[in-house]
């Protein structure tokens, strides 16, 4: 029997996951809630007949698993209400606006054995699986570099959430984008420790416009850089790992590439753009969520992993 899915927060992330769930055999969407009238209109267009209920608590009562895609300041309240009702929870990152709250939340959820995971899609990415397969043939890692560049922040497709994504308190590309690559780094290379960093912010309460950081991931040095207004395209990103026997990289979210003898990076034969890969990845995430809801162990991002990433992110932004 399919696991029933409720969605709290019907912005772009809620819509993307819903579209994947509508075509999924193991998950059945049953309800959503978002206080925005425009969200109700979009829900009716995407999934006619799926109810927009009048509260988050009503959605929790209707589902087996709750997807929390609301702004970060509300994540913990929705998750704790779902835990209290015996539901599984799939959270967007970051876990919370306040790091102390995030620490308390994770400790309590772990102590209670709550069924919970965080939506870091690289946990189900075929491109990441390809990187892992290549690593066995290129020896021990030497250095890692991570870069993320943007024409503007928020990105064009995120402007509907600019009221918080553009602000220093909850938004910015370090939380929204670099966190994904820090999660990937943690999974591939080991625990993260921050050595030094700096950040530049827009005037007033605006989000960061540039960051730089040096970390260790296990025993591997990591250089991180990001900036707004540095390119003309909407965005570009790269995760590049240099090893004893060669180099591999993840480019623009979905292109797994290996450096050849002539010095050029060549993509895997089955590499596809992120717009095509994203639905595949979300379907994989949903399959794992269904198993998590049923009490099985899965390799979705854990609350602890998400907290470790958030610790590094907030330390960079506090520089």
Across residues 159-178, what is the average pLDDT? 95
φ and ψ at residue 116, rounded to 5 degrees:
-150, 150
Enter the tokens of residue 237: 């990103």
- Domain residues for the domain of 83 are 3-119+280-302
Evaluate the CA torsion angle 61, 64, 69, 72 in order and state its sign.
positive
C-alpha 29/C-alpha 36 separation (Å) is 19
Do 78 and 152 reside in the same domain of the chain? no
Residues 129 and 228 in one domain: yes
261 shares its domain with 147: yes
Mean pLDDT for the stretch of residues 18-37:
97
Q: How confident is the model at residue 122 (pLDDT cuts 50, 70, 90)?
A: very high
Question: Is residue 155 located within the same domain as residue 264?
Answer: yes
**Which SS3 state, helix, strand or coil, does residue 157 take?**
helix
Q: Same structural domain for residues 80 and 23?
A: yes
pLDDT at 56 over 90: yes
Contact 245, 211 (CB under 8 A): no
Rounded Cα distance, 8 and 55, in Å: 9
The CATH number given to whatever domain includes residue 246 is 3.30.360.10
Percent of the chain with pLDDT over 70: 100
Residue 62 vs residues 3, 5, 13, 51, 294: alpha-carbon distances, Å: 11, 8, 20, 11, 16
- Are residues 313 and 170 both part of a single domain? yes
**Mean pLDDT, the chain, whole residue set:** 97
Helix axis angle, 75-84 to 99-112, nearest 10° = 20
The reply to whether 108 and 141 lie within a common domain is no
High-pLDDT (> 90) share of the chain, %: 98
What's the pLDDT band for 1 if we cut at 50, 70, 90?
confident
pLDDT value of residue 313: 98
**Nearest Cα to Cα of residue 306 among 91, 69, 80, 14:** 91
112 three-state secondary structure: helix
pLDDT digits (tens, 9 = 90+) for 203-227: 999 999 999 999 999 999 999 999 9
- For range 153-167, the mean pLDDT: 93
What is the CATH classification number for the domain harbouring 101?
3.40.50.720
* pLDDT value for 42: 96
Dihedral pair phi/psi, residue 130, rounded to 5°: -65, -40
Residue 53: partners with Cβ closer than 8 Å, 6 or more residues away: 31, 32, 33, 59, 62
Q: Are residues 174 and 313 in the same domain?
A: yes
Q: Report residue 272 CA to chain centroid gap.
A: 19
83's CB contacts (< 8 A; 6+ apart) are 89, 109, 112, 114, 116
Q: What are phi and psi of 248, to 5 degrees?
A: -130, 160
Among 36-40, 160-164, 180-184, the least confident range: 160-164
Q: Are residues 133 and 231 in the same domain?
A: yes
Enter the pTM of the model.
0.97
How far apart CA 11 and CA 248 sit, in angstroms, is: 34
Instruction: Determine if the peptide bond prior to 94 is cis (ω within 30°).
Output: yes
The pLDDT assigned to 139 comes to 96
pLDDT the model gives residue 319: 85
Residues 56 and 130 in one domain: no
* Mean local confidence (pLDDT), 106-130: 98
pLDDT above 90 (res 160): no
221 and 290 both lie in a single domain: no
Count other Cβ atoms within 10 Å, centred on residue 84.
Answer: 11
Indicate the number of domains in the chain: 2
93 and 132: one domain? Answer: no
- Residue 284 binned pLDDT confidence (cut-offs 50, 70, 90): very high
Q: Identify the three-state secondary structure at position 283.
A: helix
């Amino acid at each position: 029997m399919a696991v029933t899915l409720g969605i709290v927060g019907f912005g772009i992330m809620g819509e993307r996951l819903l579209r994947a769930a509508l075509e999924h055999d193991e998950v059945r969407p049953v309800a959503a809630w978002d206080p925005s009238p425009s969200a109700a209109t979009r829900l009716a267009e995407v999934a006619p007949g799926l109810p927009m209920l009048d509260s988050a608590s009503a959605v929790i009562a209707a589902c087996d698993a709750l997807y929390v895609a609301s702004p970060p300041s509300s994540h913990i309240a929705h998750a704790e209400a779902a835990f209290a009702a015996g539901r599984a929870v799939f959270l967007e990152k970051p876990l919370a606006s306040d790091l102390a709250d995030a620490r308390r939340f994770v400790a309590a959820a772990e102590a209670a054995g709550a069924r919970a995971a965080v939506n870091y899609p690289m946990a189900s990415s075929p491109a990441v699986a390809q990187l892992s397969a290549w690593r066995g043939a290129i020896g021990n890692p030497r250095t890692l570099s991570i870069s993320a560049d943007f024409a503007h922040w928020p990105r064009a497709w995120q402007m509907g959430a600019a009221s918080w994504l553009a602000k220093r308190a909850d938004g910015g590309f370090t939380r929204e984008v670099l966190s994904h690559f820090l999660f990937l780094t943690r999974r591939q290379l080991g625990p993260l420790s921050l050595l030094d960093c700096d950040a530049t912010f827009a005037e007033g309460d605006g989000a960061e416009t540039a960051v730089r950081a040096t970390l260790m991931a296990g025993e591997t040095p990591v250089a991180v850089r990001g900036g707004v207004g540095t390119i003309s395209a909407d965005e570009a990103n790269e995760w590049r790992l240099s090893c004893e026997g060669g180099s591999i990289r993840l480019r623009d979210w979905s292109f797994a590439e290996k450096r050849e003898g002539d010095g050029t990076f060549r993509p895997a034969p089955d590499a596809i753009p992120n717009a095509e890969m994203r639905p595949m990845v979300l379907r994989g995430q949903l399959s794992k969520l269904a198993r998590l809801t049923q009490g099985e162990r899965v390799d979705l991002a854990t609350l602890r992993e998400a907290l470790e990433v958030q610790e590094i992110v907030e330390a960079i932004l506090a520089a």
